[in-house]
Amino acid sequence: MLQIEDTIISLDLFDQCFCCDLEACKGICCVEGEEGAPVELDEIAEIEDILPQLWDKLSDAARAVIDKQGVAYIDREGDMAVSIVNGAECVFATKGANGIWSCLIENLYNEGKTTFRKPISCHLYPVRTKQFPTFKAVNYHKWHVCKDAVKLGEKNHLLLYQYLKEPLIRKFGQDWYDQLSMAAEHISH
């Protein structure tokens, strides 16, 4: 473990290779699982603000879930999570003609129609963060659906902290990431 400021970081970020391979996995992390992605309160407000732009693109089932419980719910651990359909699929997941699942929120961002990209927990995946009373844990969530991402990361010699540079900076800031990079250099030598 490594500590930077009030974060405790798993060393997996420095020795685990990773690079999403959407051609192989088809974005299945958006539709498998038992809980929705963690979401922060300010993100719920952002999602609610852009919901009218997304509404017609949502599936009937997703609209029904949102009508019933909103864009988020309290999961089994007592944390806020993005609403899901049938106990698995994110309400904002959409399957493209190419068979690859993507995020309607991120699609809107990529079209320049919002400044909100997607929940930070989705952007950071497969890294998960958890707030404790005195620190925030930063851990790698190993999941079988990401086995192709590990292979592609190994092929490209791309470590998890390198692959997730943009979302890590979004979450913790440039100074934090610079400290993380310096620590990675010392760990690798």
Give Cβ neighbours of residue 109 (< 8 Å, ≥ 6 apart): 115, 116, 117, 118
pLDDT reported for residue 167: 97
Mean pLDDT by runs of 10 across the 189 residues of the chain is 94 95 92 90 96 96 96 93 93 94 96 96 95 95 93 96 97 97 83
DSSP per position, 60-126: HHHHHHHHHH-SEEE-TTS-EEE-EETTTEETTEEE-TTS-EEEHHHHHHHTTS-S--S-HHHHHTT
pLDDT at 189: 52
pLDDT on residue 13: 95
pLDDT at 186: 85
